[in-house]
Chain A
Amino acid sequence: MSTYSSISQLLALAEETGLPLWKTVQTADCDEQSLSEADSRSAMAKMLSVMRSALENYDARHRSMSGLSGGDGGRMEAYIASGKSISGPLVGKMTAAALKMGECNACMKRIVAAPTAGACGVLPAVLLPAGEELGLPDERLVEALYVAAGIGQVIAGRASISGAQSGCQAEIGSASAMAAAALVHLCGGTSKQMVNAAALALKSLLGLVCDPVGGLVEVPCIKRNVIGAVNALTAAEMSLAGVKSRVPPDEVIDAMKEIGDTMPASLRETAEGGLAATPSGRAAVGG
């Protein structure tokens, strides 16, 4: 099977072969890397299990090296448990899971970069609660991870998944696009709906800058995992409802690249601008 460098090529490849999108991604990667499908699948299953154990082993008492983060996942969970949440249990669970994963990363726990460590919470925060809600077996979640990886691969090739290069749109934005497509898979949507959801999700996070306080992957990164997750949820729902992105996925990705290329260096992970340069941002890290 040939490989793909755009979402439209990926879609065409899936249509040509009649394979589901996840399988198309898997087959293309196995061919390219000379990997057996069984090995690929067990490697992907491992990613899922690392995500799940990070979430399950979350400890609200832990704090990051800088002392800036920790405990918020626990706060959110307690609030949801109190029954006061107006957004409902699923959104509440996703919010709590995104915070927990972001905090696990900040507290030097084992996580899966997806596509980066800073954005590691988005995919698990969407997929694990949704899988539970829908009562799906793990195989389906593993398939969804392939869908996510396929979207991420195109973004990485055409644009970037690095905050230092293209700002946070490339990290949280990419993660959100990946999660949106993956969620459509879990909900039984079509390949077209998956990539459309990715476009809808990425569009809404275009322009997001990378401005981490003190240069540390904590503020605002942890909480941005929440918006990445919730944005993926609404994008997936819109796509499943038949709402279409006027701008197709590849053009959205190209727009992200162009925006990233024109973003000043102060807003690309250097901690010289944005939130990092605010008085409170500076004070938080003693600078």
Chain B
Amino acid sequence: MSIFDILGPVMVGPSSSHTAGAVRMGQITRRLVGGEPVRAKILLSGSFASTGAGHGTPRAIVAGLMGFMPDDERIPYSFEIAGERGLEFEFGTAVLHDVHPNSALITVENDRGERVEVGASSPGGGRILVFSLDGLPASFSGEVPTLIVRTGDMPGYVSRVTGVLAAQGINMSKLRVERQGRGETAIMVIECDQRIPYKVKVAISAIEGVKKVTRLNPGEESK
């Protein structure tokens, strides 16, 4: 733990879990869908549902969907700004089981009509954990460079994807593959020791059967 986990983060109040973490959830969802979100449905669960409004949680999530950082003083006005930018959103509640009490399920659609559904929790200190992606179980935080690859379930794709990383000298620290069923969409989540450059994304996107590649590099959240 760094001393800047003790003094910090710099954030807009009132709560690191219910506000700063909520911004991060919106941010990671934005990056996972890619492009510019135009529609979002956000289901709040547990403590997010019961005390979220007073903590500005809904506004924080919408701010994150627009790429704001947790210390952006426009967060309290995110609904109005979303209106100006043409991002439609609706909120509801959900009862999610076996997840941290501070959780949400966010479905977004971008300006190219692509959709993603992200389940994420905010356990404290402004950190988050993505626990589901498009209905498949997941477990990543985006605190280390992370590559998310969505593919059709083609034979041999795992080694081809990891081969690209190896060729670029990028070390993998964690690899997880989940799929909906045999022959259906699979999601690979790869955590790496080094920043993932754009050319890796290009090379992996070229592999047969790969549908979508997302890079999460820490420090580049607002991009």
For window 53-107 of A, CB contacts with B under 8 Å fall at: 64-66, 104-107
B-side interface size class: 20 to 34
Complex Cα distance, B1 from A29, in Å, reads 9
State whether A215 and B47 are in contact (beta carbons under 8 Å apart), knowing that A108-B75, A117-B16 are contacts in the complex.
yes
Complex Cα distance, B11 from A109, in Å, reads 8
Contact of B14 among A33, A106, A271 (CB under 8 A): A106
| A115: min CB distance to chain B, Å | 5
B124 touches A214 (CB 8 A): no
| Binary per-residue interface labels of chain B (1-32) against chain A in the complex, 1 for a CB within 8 Å, 0 otherwise | 11111111111111110011000000000000
Complex contacts, A148 vs chain B, CB 8 Å: 6-7
Whether B53 is near chain A, meaning CB under 8 Å from some CB there, is: yes
State whether A110 and B73 are in contact (beta carbons under 8 Å apart), knowing that A33-B2, A216-B51, A217-B13 are contacts in the complex.
yes
Q: Which stretch in A40-48, A230-238, A244-252, A256-264 binds the other chain?
A: A40-48
Complex: chain B residue closest to A28, CB-CB: B3
Q: Which stretch in A155-163, A188-196, A202-210 binds the other chain?
A: A155-163
B13 touches A117 (CB 8 A): yes
Whether A113 is near chain B, meaning CB under 8 Å from some CB there, is: yes
State whether A29 and B3 are in contact (beta carbons under 8 Å apart), knowing that A65-B54, A216-B55, A285-B54 are contacts in the complex.
yes
Complex Cα distance, B1 from A149, in Å, reads 11
B7 touches A112 (CB 8 A): yes
For the residues of A in contact with B, the DSSP-based class is: helix
Complex Cα distance, B50 from A214, in Å, reads 9
| B49: min CB distance to chain A, Å | 11
Complex Cα distance, B101 from A164, in Å, reads 11
Complex Cα distance, B70 from A111, in Å, reads 11
Whether B34 is near chain A, meaning CB under 8 Å from some CB there, is: no
| A164: min CB distance to chain B, Å | 7
Complex: chain A residue closest to B73, CB-CB: A110
For window 122-141 of B, CB contacts with A under 8 Å fall at: 124-126
Complex: chain A residue closest to B50, CB-CB: A215
Whether B56 is near chain A, meaning CB under 8 Å from some CB there, is: yes
Complex Cα distance, B127 from A162, in Å, reads 13
Complex Cα distance, B16 from A285, in Å, reads 21
A106 touches B13 (CB 8 A): yes
Complex: chain B residue closest to A66, CB-CB: B54
Complex contacts, B114 vs chain A, CB 8 Å: none
B126 touches A64 (CB 8 A): no
Of B3, B10, B11, B55, most A-chain CB atoms within 10 Å: B3
A64 touches B3 (CB 8 A): no
B54 touches A216 (CB 8 A): yes
Complex contacts, A281 vs chain B, CB 8 Å: none
Complex Cα distance, B1 from A150, in Å, reads 11
| A24: min CB distance to chain B, Å | 12
B54 touches A112 (CB 8 A): no
B19 touches A111 (CB 8 A): no
| A59: min CB distance to chain B, Å | 12
| B5: min CB distance to chain A, Å | 8
B14 touches A217 (CB 8 A): yes
Whether A114 is near chain B, meaning CB under 8 Å from some CB there, is: yes
Complex contacts, A150 vs chain B, CB 8 Å: 3
Query: 8 extra interchain contacts, Cβ-Cβ under 8 A, other than A112-B8, A216-B14, A216-B54?
Result: A29-B3, A108-B75, A113-B10, A114-B7, A114-B8, A149-B7, A217-B55, A218-B54
Q: Give residues in B with beta carbon < 8 Å to A.
A: 1-16, 19-20, 47, 50-51, 53-56, 71, 73, 75-76, 124-126
Question: 5 tightest CB-CB pairs across the interface, nearest first?
Answer: A105-B13, A215-B51, A149-B3, A152-B6, A217-B14
